[in-house]
């Protein structure tokens, strides 16, 4: 007939193994379908490139990357930047801005700062600022720092 299992429970073991295999397959399939429905049900992300940044890293980046032209409290080659978040562009009375920036009507928030730091010429043609921050995480960190300084 067939080969007999000396322990006498071979059939039972194969049955349990089969049940375990079926449960594993069903669990994996369930996790797959639940993850797909979670993706479909996830809320839409804002289209803005401005992400949440780290103000501590932003301070360090500001000092290293922006500090040659800007300070927080005094004008240099660029205007002072304390309080820039929430401020209308071109309004620090002691600084001579480009005509384009003065007439732009921009108010600095996370979205406009992100666009500005990505490519100043694209947001305001003929601007005097020719520096940009190409990495989105660095922009987000600097913006978080500037926002923190503006108490917004």
- Residue pair 87/108 in contact (Cβ under 8 Å)? The answer is yes
Average per-residue pLDDT for the chain: 79
**Pairwise CA distance, residues 62 & 89, whole Å:** 19
User: Burial, 63: exposed, middle or buried (Cβ in 10 Å; 0-12, 13-18, 19+)?
Assistant: middle
Query: Which tokens belong to 84?
Result: 């820039």
Which CATH class for the 55-149 domain? mainly alpha
Res. 151 pLDDT band, cuts 50 70 90: confident
Predicted confidence (pLDDT) at residue 62 exceeds the cutoff of 70: yes
Instruction: Kindly report the pTM of this predicted structure.
Output: 0.66
Domain boundaries along the sequence of the chain: 1-42, 55-149
**Pairwise CA distance, residues 119 & 100, whole Å:** 15
38-61 pLDDT, tens digit each: 333 333 333 344 568 999 999 999
């Amino acid at each position: 007939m067939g080969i007999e299992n000396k322990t006498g429970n071979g059939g039972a073991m194969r049955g349990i193994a089969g049940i375990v295999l079926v449960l594993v397959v069903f669990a994996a399939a369930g996790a797959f379908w639940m993850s797909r429905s979670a993706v479909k049900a996830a809320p839409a992300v804002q289209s803005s490139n401005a992400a949440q940044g780290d103000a501590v890293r932003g301070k360090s980046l500001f000092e290293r990357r922006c500090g040659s032209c800007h300070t927080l409290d005094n004008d240099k080659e660029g205007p002072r930047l304390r309080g820039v978040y929430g401020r209308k562009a071109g309004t620090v009375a002691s600084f001579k801005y480009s005509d384009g920036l003065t007439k732009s009507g921009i108010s600095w928030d996370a979205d406009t700062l992100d666009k500005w730091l990505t490519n100043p010429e694209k947001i305001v043609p003929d601007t005097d600022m020719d520096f940009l921050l190409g990495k989105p995480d660095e922009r987000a960190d600097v913006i978080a720092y500037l926002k923190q300084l503006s108490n917004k």
